[in-house]
Chains A and B, each alone.
Chain A
Amino acid sequence: MATSLKCLLRSGKEAAAAPAVGDANRDLAAIQVTVRDALNQALDEELERDERVFLLGEEVAQYDGAYKMGFTGIAVGAAMAGLRPICEFMTFNFSMQAIDQVINSAAKTYYMSAGQQPVPIVFRGPNGASAGVAAQHSQCFAAWYAHCPGLKVVSPWNAEDARGLLKTAIRDDNPVVFLENELMYGVPFEMSEESLSKDFTIPIGKAKIERQGAHITLVSHSRMVGHCLDAAAVLAKEGIDCEVINLRTIRPLDVECIEGSVMKTNHLVTVEGGWPQFGVGAEICARVMEGSAFNYLDAPVTRVTGVDIPMPYAKILEDNSVPQIKDIIFSVKKTLGV
């Protein structure tokens, strides 16, 4: 009976016929992989690699159900007893019900026990705005979780991020909040052979410069990274050269990367999907002010954020509730004074 429980909890998602991954014909230097497939493959590989890893949640294998606080607590308890659970939320909005278990049972325990009780757990699920799911299902939780010591919070953008960060998160001995994005699941990205190898990991706490630039720094995470790159492409035609940083990790924030870039470009715009107040951009502003890059700024930092309202349903309203590419372009020009 123990074996069947184990099987139940370790049946990874049916990885959709992943094109050519793991096959002999991996001659292609780059392969197109969707974020969803990248995640599933990473999950399957990590399940195979370590017996203690298992899945628990609302959308797992054959399991349907929404016993949020209960299963989150169960996952945390299992982690305390030596397993390595991956706790899935259908969306992070549901994690609000279970947030006590994430913060008080998972995040704080290693500290409260003075190092006796580690909690190696990953909490994953889609975060932030989706499409037409309205106010209760569209909140971004990056700021909420990143506020808390004892947690690591990551926010992948593309397939490579998803794969590498998920593997690192699963192998990390600490609670990791893994913020995915529903609208990104189906988006394909080129993945190098190196990034497809079984032990490909991306370190938590290190941002990536997706596009080098000289005039202004754009810092973003998750889906908005794509928007920043699109904006940068448009701005390039007007002679404005943007450096785009993909945070990859929200907590701990790679302040060094941001500062290094600002010291080069002298201008900073943060872009996020979440609400403005007390958010990721707000934190970046504070950190830049406190550090060495402040004196290099030629203008105050600009934050591009979601509109400070509960998410509306109607498409036109929803579209105007989150940053669009034109908002980023506008903000860049304002910051540069052009």
Chain B
Amino acid sequence: MLTNISTVLRACAQRNGAAAVVSARNYADFTSQATFEIKKSDVFKLDEAPATEVVMTRDEGLQYYRTMQTMRRMELKADQLYKQKIIRGFCHLYDGQEACAVGIEASIKPTDHLITAYRAHGYTLTRGGTVKEIMAELTGRRGGIAKGKGGSMHMYCKNFYGGNGIVGAQVPLGAGVALACKYKGSDELCVCLYGDGAANQGQIFETYNMAALWKLPVIFICENNRYGMGTSVERAAASTDYFKRGEFIPGLRVDGMDILCVREATRFAAEHCRSGKGPILMELQTYRYHGHSMSDPGVSYRTREEIQEVRSKSDPISLLKDRLLSNNMASVEELKEIDVDVRKEIEDAAQFATTDPEPPLEELCNHIFSNNPPVEVRGTNPWAKLKSKDYILD
């Protein structure tokens, strides 16, 4: 790959007669791994804290970069398609928060479980969905990850339980998944996410109680992006120390814009759960560039200056990029090539998502019940007698 870059770039240099000569870089030129000093996480009812000196390899760095960039571009493309009215209804975008999803996934296993609320496209990707099937779900096509029947807030894949539309409802569900893990005697855990808006909900406190009582292997994660819809945390919560709200559950407050912080904290939390200590709570301090959803411009309750400041100083992708470049772990060209690759993937996915046909009408009445003989379904009028298809053991 590097030889190709160098050939291309040399060719460019010759064409442009550019003064800046780009020379070929060999594999051996890059640092294979580096140690990074990261921000210390605040702890609550914990004697130890996640490590502040962490190692990242070049391969890891490139993979994180690629995934975060894919996530970013995918969300921006969704924005575009929404404005073209090709995506309808709800669309809650994740750009700005990439370090959370990618950092968490870096420290859990595919056999672990994860559930989140409606800002879920990023997690659908990290948990195994493809950009193609995510976008086709947003556009409501048959190639969508839920065959077009779920939409933005209802995407599922193995060990990923969505995508949940009712604020806070996913938290008890997540503890239930963790209960199943413990019940089965596996070392699996469940990562259970919610936002600063949901954090004041009663059912979350009910869940904290039962999770602690039964020592369930659940990592509660509050993605605090400072705003619950249009309400800032200061206006919403009597206590904005979300990592302490579990009271009897130990907590961590983590810089959610730094993927290495998120990764390290998740590693720490996962170990806590797997060693049978019960639940733990992580607050990830993060930020969303978009408004709450595509119906919210996002600038009536916060200033453009604030958004711009976060973008310029704390963007998770930029932070990672700087780290990779300044530690000689990758080259500008290499990262640009990843960008080009990602752009193409997104374009192809968008192309698919806009051309794939909608689900056939026969799909209307399917998937009401699992493992059930065909069900008669009443249509819009008494003569419209519809029927679900026969599904045997799906």
Contact = CB atoms under 8 A, between A and B. Distances in A.
Interface centre among A70, A118, A152 (most CB of B within 10 A): A70
Interface string A147-189: 0011010000000000000000000011000000000000000
Contacts of A115: 366-367, 370, 391, 394
Interface stretch (A97-105, A132-140, A211-219, A325-333): A97-105
B130 interface: no
Given A113-B150, A173-B371, A80 B176 contact: yes
Given A77-B177, A78-B177, A290-B382, A110 B370 contact: yes
A90 interface: no
Assign chain B's interface to a size class.
35 or more
B173 A73 contact: yes
Contacts of A149: 368, 377
B387 interface: no
Given A67-B206, A100-B166, A118-B371, A112 B161 contact: no
Contacts of A174: 369-372
A73 B207 contact: yes
Interface centre among A3, A6, A67 (most CB of B within 10 A): A67
Given A70-B206, A70-B209, A114 B147 contact: yes
Given A76-B176, A79-B176, A5 B375 contact: no
Contact of B176 (A74, A110, A117): A74
A274 B161 CA distance: 36
Given A1-B215, A2-B185, A104-B166, A78 B154 contact: no
B149 A81 contact: no
A71 B164 CA distance: 17
A82 B190 CA distance: 14
Contacts of B371: 118, 173-174
B322 to A, nearest CB: 39
Contacts of B228: none
A60 B183 CA distance: 17
B173 A80 contact: yes
A114 B176 contact: no
Interface in B297-328: none
A31 interface: no
Interface string A108-144: 0111111111101000000000000000000000000
B166 to A, nearest CB: 5
A275 interface: no
B76 interface: no
Interface string A84-107: 010000000000000011001100
B17 interface: no
Contacts of A77: 115, 161, 172-180
Nearest to B391: A115
B276 interface: yes
Interface residues of A, number: 48
A238 B68 CA distance: 81
Contacts of B157: 116
A176 to B, nearest CB: 10
A252 interface: yes
A74 B207 contact: yes
Contacts of B190: 81
B203 interface: yes
A9 B276 CA distance: 18
A149 B367 CA distance: 11
A75 interface: yes
Interface in A289-305: 290-291
Interface in B359-394: 363, 366-372, 375-377, 382, 391, 394
20 contacts: A2-B185, A5-B214, A67-B206, A71-B210, A75-B176, A76-B176, A77-B179, A81-B113, A81-B161, A81-B180, A81-B181, A105-B173, A113-B156, A114-B150, A115-B391, A116-B146, A150-B369, A173-B372, A174-B372, A290-B382
Given A78-B183, A83-B180, 15 more contacts: A69-B172, A70-B172, A70-B203, A70-B207, A73-B203, A77-B179, A80-B173, A81-B113, A104-B166, A112-B156, A114-B149, A115-B391, A116-B146, A117-B161, A173-B372
Interface of A: 1-3, 5-6, 9, 54, 67-83, 85, 100-101, 104-105, 109-118, 120, 149-150, 152, 173-174, 252, 290-291
